[in-house]
Amino acid sequence: MKHVDIEQRQKKILGAIVESYIETAIPVGSRAVSQRFRMSVSPATIRNVMADLEEKGLITHPHTSAGRVPTDKGYRMYVDLFLEPKHLTKEEESLIAKLIDKGCEDFETLMQTVSKSICMMTNVVGIVLTPRLKRSVFKHVEFIPIDSSRILAVLITGSGVVKSTMLDMEEEFVKSELFRISEFLNQELSGMFLGDIKGYLTRRLLEQSDSFYTFLKKAMYMLSIPGLLKMEDRIYFEGATSIIACPEFKDITKARLFLKLFEEKRDLMELFGEDMDVEGIKVHIGKENNRKSVQEYTIVTSNYKVNDRVIGALGAIGPTRMEYGRVISAVSYLSDILGKALEDLG
């Protein structure tokens, strides 16, 4: 029984504490750990180890006579060192596939279905950001004359998003010219990323002869003014209401603050947008987050891709006490699925 790897045991006990706490939300005592794992060590020994872990800042005490609770740092170590992904079962995957299949006809329901799926699999709030307009490819633009002074501009992107804006024209427009403009744009810009269009057209403008200049200028106006290209991302989420049943929200003001995140979506949008270009699943635990409003929660994000190009982000948010394995697996799986669904849709 000598020379047991101390480090190893610390890890094991930290793991036990984290997992037990995630499961029950009750601070974990030395006895509980000893029993839970039928360990060959007594509670007393575990207490000593716990004291060490506490010194390292991995766990804490709510008060003297309470069990231990993981700190953010403790969760971090757990996630980094001995978390094994807990893949969705075949049944779960096929359930999701079925849902997505039903909901993927139109863009809106697809977004809703994905966020709902994340929520269902994990019991935390599932979040999906719409594809960044800038990163979508141009597919088609159409100008529909409504009355003498107004035109409806309709833009279709590669990921199936349709965006439309009403244009109030100051001067009278000629139908044939409108047609020429849309034909020109459709030919010229096909397949281009929306984010690159403005620059491209400006460059073209500089190198053109006078005769073509006015035409081009008009074309640019038609595209840029209406805010067609203006990014205006939206966020879809599901499960915010049911999660406030968790014990961490028994204080009603906590619950309100949490729900407020979803009412004022800005913070969340930024948060998810920020590490959209980082590959893989990102996990931000508690105070690791910069924004105060989310420092009691863990955020798991991933990006999703259409034709191998990153165009959006999705993920989950919930109490730091979440089932990391499942959440990570679910987010990972659904980012794949969403990407594929968008390719079909586009």
Partner DNA sequence: AATAGCACTCTAAGTGTTAGAGTGCTAATT
Partner DNA sequence: AATTAGCACTCTAACACTTAGAGTGCTATT
Total site size for its own copies, rule CB under 8 A: 30
Smallest gap, in angstroms, from Cβ of residue 300 to DNA? 29
* Long-range contacts of the stretch 6-9 (C-beta < 8 A, 24+): 9/41, 9/49
Residue 126: DSSP 8-state: E
User: Considering beta carbons, is residue 43 or 145 the nearer one to its own copies?
Assistant: 145
Task: Sort residue 124 into left (φ over 0), alpha (ψ -120 to 50) or beta.
Answer: beta
Nearest approach in angstroms of CB 241 to its own copies is 4
Interface stretch with its own copies, choices 86-94, 207-215, 240-248, 320-328 (CB under 8 A): 240-248
Given 15, 22, 67, 155, the residue binding DNA (CB under 7 A): 67
Q: What is the dihedral of CA 63, 65, 67, 71, to 10 degrees?
A: 20
DSSP state of 298: E
Considering CB distances under 5 to 8 angstroms, the limit depending on partner class, which of DNA, its own copies, none binds residue 142?
its own copies
**Measured from the CB of residue 144, what is the shortest distance to its own copies in angstroms?**
5
Specify the residue, 109 or 332, whose C-beta has the smaller distance to its own copies: 109
CB-wise, 61 or 234, nearer to DNA? 61
In whole angstroms, how close is the CB of 312 to DNA at the nearest point?
Answer: 43
Q: Binding marks (x or -) toward its own copies, 246..275, rule CB under 8 A? A: ---xx-xx-xx--xx-xx------------
| Six token digits for residue 154 | 């309709």
Tokens encoding 110: 């697809």
Q: Can you name the residues that pair with 164 across neighbouring β-strands?
A: 154
61 binds DNA (CB under 7 A): yes
Q: Is 140 in the site for its own copies (CB under 8 A)?
A: yes
Q: Which stretch binds its own copies (CB under 8 A): 17-25, 194-202, 242-250, 274-282?
A: 242-250
CB of 62 to DNA, least distance (A): 7
Beta bridge partners of 68: 28
CA angle 72, 73, 78 (to 5 degrees): 95
- Is residue 68 within 8 A of residue 27, CB to CB? The reply is yes
157, 159, 164, 165 alpha-carbon torsion, rounded to 10°: -70
Enumerate residues 27-56 that contact DNA by CB under 7 A: 27-32, 40-45, 47-48, 50-51, 54
Q: What is the CB neighbour count within 10 angstroms for residue 149?
A: 13
């403790």: which residue's tokens? 74
Cα 142–Cα 143–Cα 148 angle in degrees, nearest 5: 165
| Three-class secondary structure of residue 322 per DSSP | coil
Cα pseudo-dihedral 250, 252, 254, 255, rounded to 10 = 90
The correct pick among 10, 165, 293, 295 for binding its own copies (CB under 8 A) is: 165
Told to check if 156 binds its own copies by CB under 8 A, we report: yes
160 near its own copies, rule: CB under 8 A: yes
The residues of the shown chain that bind DNA, judged by CB under 7 A, are 1-2, 4, 6, 27-32, 40-45, 47-48, 50-51, 54, 61, 63-68
The residues of the shown chain that bind its own copies, judged by CB under 8 A, are 106, 139-140, 142, 144, 146, 152, 154, 156, 160, 162, 164-166, 238, 240-242, 244-245, 249-250, 252-253, 255-256, 259-260, 262-263
